Amino acid sequence: MTEQRKKRYRVVQWATGNVGARALRRAIEHPDLEVVGVYVHSPAKAGMDAGTLAGIAPIGVFATNSIEDVLALKPDCVLYMPHICSYDEICRILESGSNIVSTRMELQNPAALDPAIAARIEAACQRGQSSVHATGSSPGFITEAMPIVLASIQRRLDHLSINEYADCSTRNSPEMIFDMMGFGHKPVPGHVNDSHFEHARTSFGPSLQLIATALGLPLDGFKLHGAVGLARKDTQIDAGLIPAGTIAATRTTLSGMRNGKPLMSFTSTWYVTTDIDSSDGKPWEFRLSSGWNVVLQGDCPLDVTISFPVSPEDYPEMTPGLTAHRPINAVPYVCEAPPGIRTTVDLPQIIARLG
């Protein structure tokens, strides 16, 4: 990596939503990256300066909504961070010779992809001699990078549990809180464990399977359990009102099974108030306001708690970096990787360049 540090990598930021705008800003500031372009979906953003989109001073690089414009720049890497994953776009970028670092969880474990899609992406990588890697905070850092480090001092793994807590009460985004996360809605009787919770299987299952397989303990399958917490009283949050009796918390546990027993589990507890009645009839522990608790049971047991020591008013400003920063730090490693879909297991340990 010493030789790679001498290089500057030409990058394009693809999409400038909440996470994408933060990634763009950090790419502009990074000593080893040169932002040469920005792709935006909104016609209103086309032509805007990259610095303006990142919330800093203009830099003289202007956004486009044309993929042809992006490919003509011949960047070393495209930071691909759209809300919807397009395999057509991904393959065009890879075929052109540009690498991709993405936050799209579909790309984190090629074994979980439709075989035809995986083959198509691999073929595009071979044609362009390019590579693609996906990562973020969760899944990514907490489900892959952290377990790899904790397992490095073990010779036996009995169980790995990852517990994620997210207090969403200060997120002033009604679309995210009410439409995407379902807070403030009446629960549908008999459908507590339905597709509302299936995101856990598709988001975290491939990531857990990737690490389990790398450790020589591939999972046989997954079990999913979901429950909701109903607000006991009307609760005002930054995004609006959560009426009493509506969903104010969700808890989802995805258990990776091996030989009939759970080997790895990921539990997310996302909430806007802790004053709830749970649909599963169990008392819920809110161990952290926001953060992770990772417990590894083995021959060297470990209990690691990660919290975010920021004020409630600063929390919304901090959170985009949790997802945006690891992809930025991964750019040099992905650009120098062999062609193909590259996972956390394939790449060297990602070391941030902070100076």
Domains of the chain in start order, with CATH, are 4-136+319-341 (3.40.50.720), 154-299 (no CATH)
pLDDT at residue 270, rounded to an integer:
94
Average pLDDT over residues 307-321: 91
pLDDT at residue 102, rounded to an integer:
98
Strand (E) or helix (H) holding 251: strand 247-258
Nearest alpha carbon to residue 137 among 184, 105, 185, 170 = 105
pLDDT at residue 192, rounded to an integer:
53
Average pLDDT over residues 209-237: 97
Q: Given a cut of 80, is residue 138 above it in pLDDT? A: yes
Sign of CA dihedral 171, 175, 176, 177: positive
Measured CA to CA, the distance from residue 77 to residue 97 in angstroms comes to 9
Q: Which amino acid is at 6?
A: K
Task: Name the pLDDT band for 193 (thresholds 50, 70, 90).
Answer: very low
Looking at per-residue pLDDT, the higher value among 45 and 313 belongs to 45
**Per-chain mean pLDDT for the chain:** 94
The DSSP output letter for 49 is: B
pLDDT at residue 6, rounded to an integer:
66
Nearest alpha carbon to residue 159 among 16, 258, 274 = 258
Half-sphere exposure for 314 (CA within 13 Å, toward CB): 5
Average pLDDT over residues 285-312: 94
Looking at per-residue pLDDT, the higher value among 33 and 314 belongs to 33
Burial class (CB in 10 A: 0-12, 13-18, 19+), 245: middle
Task: Name the pLDDT band for 257 (thresholds 50, 70, 90).
Answer: very high
